[in-house]
Copies of this chain bind each other. A is one copy, B any other.
């Protein structure tokens, strides 16, 4: 079982569900009440679930992994500034952790606040920190670099923009209010100060809580239900698949105990081409019904596909190159990853096509047993591949959650 405060109770797969009024009202009382304001306790009492929902910063694992996907997200990579090394990085992670803890509790930043999130509750804000391959060289910590951070293999279908890939440090921000998310982004960027600069930054979104009554996974911009086969924190082997174990003979350095590896990909969807397909052809590409996510072989979203079932024409009902067949864990040596994406839409390009798609974010204990084998297989024969384009990529080591009084990454930076 995942052990991460409130997110333990608010499991994945309920992201679109409503009425999960588990918010801690105290989180909304973080701003000191100015004389002319209603008392902060009055405000907290009348906050609805969306604003009052609070995710815990401290825990065995960092927040933002099993937290239900939020309606707004920012992904940011930073590079350490010239001259900044281990000492500056440690101070930065200490500042960032303190601020993340405050903001996730609905408080203002310790210094002068921009007030952009003022009056709003925590709104399920999460902040998650990771380290890229290049971080370890910059800080003289090569010996602590996990081999799991070795560069991903090249995939034939990659069209990667290096300027929007990789980075020394990675920050994921999610919240159910866009101003709360932006406020956190600005606060963390400002705190980077002279120690680090933004390398790339991407904005994403998911469905708003309450927009649908379906207790289901979200839809992506192709209209597909996304994340059906995600491992669930209630499953016995969830921790083993997603988190680096605390003890035992692993190839991971000890500072990664309780951590996870995240693969981030900006996957553009070629929506004009996709939407020219009829519904039947789209469903053949995926292997599932678009309406409800059920396999083409029948049942509901959670029914196991009958991969061996043939139609009257003697062909498999779920084609050999159908996306759902290729990505199934039992077709990939039991590998599993937890996909927790945001959609993105950055307007239209000059040809009038939308620059839109998926900020694919997936979590696993070992990328070589999670993302890599699946992507290798997709790269060879996924029917979906002609409708998508991987435009940016990153792989980051996300350490375990900070204990009280500790900052994220302390076990690495002060080892």
A interface residue numbers (CB < 8 A to B): 16, 18-19, 28, 34, 36-37, 43-51, 71-72, 112-116, 118-121, 123, 176-180, 182, 186, 189-190, 197-198, 201-203, 205-214, 216, 218-219, 221-224, 271, 275, 278-279, 289-292, 294, 299-300, 343, 345-348, 352, 354, 356
Number of copies: 2
Asked if B118 and A219 make an inter-chain contact with CB atoms under 8 angstroms apart, the answer reads: yes
Asked if A36 and B292 make an inter-chain contact with CB atoms under 8 angstroms apart, the answer reads: yes
On whether A348 and B37 interact (CB within 8 A), knowing A48-B19, A114-B275, A212-B120, the answer reads: no
Q: Which residues on B sit within 8 Å (CB–CB) of A37?
A: 291-292
On whether A348 and B198 interact (CB within 8 A), knowing A43-B213, A294-B36, the answer reads: yes
| Closest-CB distance, A286 to chain B (whole angstroms) | 12
Question: Interface centre among A119, A176, A292, A299, by most B CB within 10 Å?
Answer: A119
Asked if B211 and A176 make an inter-chain contact with CB atoms under 8 angstroms apart, the answer reads: yes
Q: Which residues on B sit within 8 Å (CB–CB) of A214?
A: 43, 119
Q: A112-B279, A179-B343, A346-B346 are in contact. List 12 more A-B contacts (CB 8 A).
A: A16-B119, A49-B210, A51-B211, A112-B278, A114-B275, A118-B290, A121-B212, A123-B211, A176-B208, A178-B343, A180-B211, A203-B347
Asked if A186 and B219 make an inter-chain contact with CB atoms under 8 angstroms apart, the answer reads: no
The dominant DSSP class at the A interface is loop
Cα A189 to Cα B271 in complex, Å, equals 12
Asked if B202 and A347 make an inter-chain contact with CB atoms under 8 angstroms apart, the answer reads: yes
| Closest-CB distance, A120 to chain B (whole angstroms) | 4
| Closest-CB distance, A373 to chain B (whole angstroms) | 30
Cα A202 to Cα B348 in complex, Å, equals 9
On whether A210 and B275 interact (CB within 8 A), knowing A36-B294, A114-B223, the answer reads: no
Asked if B34 and A291 make an inter-chain contact with CB atoms under 8 angstroms apart, the answer reads: yes
Asked if B119 and A216 make an inter-chain contact with CB atoms under 8 angstroms apart, the answer reads: yes
